Amino acid sequence: EFPDVKVIALSIHSKRRFVADMLSAGATGYILKECLFDELIQAIKAVAAGGRYLSPRITELVVSDYVRRLSAAADSPFEALTTREREVLQLVAEGKSTKQIALELHVSTKTIEANRRQIMEKLNIHSVAELTKYAVREGLTTLET
């Protein structure tokens, strides 16, 4: 709606999923709340000049994640999941029922059941508890959720 507005995320979260979601949503910067005032000013100047800014810890996270993905097999099970399947996986891991997920995503319960079966098949997982552990490991949800 406002293409000229630049967003710098200021967050306590340094987990890759939070960072990836924020950058995918269009943030041009990501800094941690623990940063010093000078770093905040540096981020604002960089973004105002048309660039991007990531806190050093976030840069390290992004680069190491990128390198890890390059060295991982292209056909990793998580990468095989569709965006919708990842969304369903996250909601399942957050403890939502099939009916709640269906209502939230505006689809039928049968569709969610099919999504869940496909997710479990692709990941070779056989229980909701295992799905939840997997989602936490992948950063789709946290234990606080």
Q: Which pLDDT belongs to residue 141?
A: 80
Q: Which pLDDT belongs to residue 105?
A: 94
The per-residue DSSP string of 65-133 comes to HHHHHHHS-TT-HHHHS-HHHHHHHHHHHTT--HHHHHHHHTS-HHHHHHHHHHHHHHHT--SHHHHHH
pLDDT in tens, 10-19: 999 998 888 9
What percent of the chain shows pLDDT beyond 90?
A: 59
pLDDT in tens, 12-53: 999 888 898 898 888 999 999 999 999 999 999 999 999 999
Q: Quick check: 88 and 105 in contact, CB under 8 A?
A: yes
Q: Which pLDDT belongs to residue 72?
A: 62
The pTM (predicted TM-score) of the whole model is 0.51
Comparing C-alpha atoms, which of 75, 79, 74, 81 is closest to residue 119?
81
pLDDT in tens, 116-141: 999 999 999 999 899 989 888 888 88
What percent of the chain shows pLDDT beyond 70?
A: 93
Q: Which pLDDT belongs to residue 143?
A: 67
98-131 b/e with 16+ CB inside 10 Å = b? beebbeeeeeeeebbeebbebbbebbebeeeeeb
Tokens read off for 112: 């969610």
Q: Which pLDDT belongs to residue 75?
A: 58
Average pLDDT over residues 69-98: 83
Average pLDDT over residues 93-98: 92
State the Cα–Cα distance between residues 131 and 133, nearest whole angstrom: 6
Please identify which residue in the block is written with the tokens 């100047």.
Answer: 45
For each of the domains in the chain, give its residue range(s) and CATH number, in order of start.
8-71 (3.40.50.2300), 77-137 (1.10.10.10)
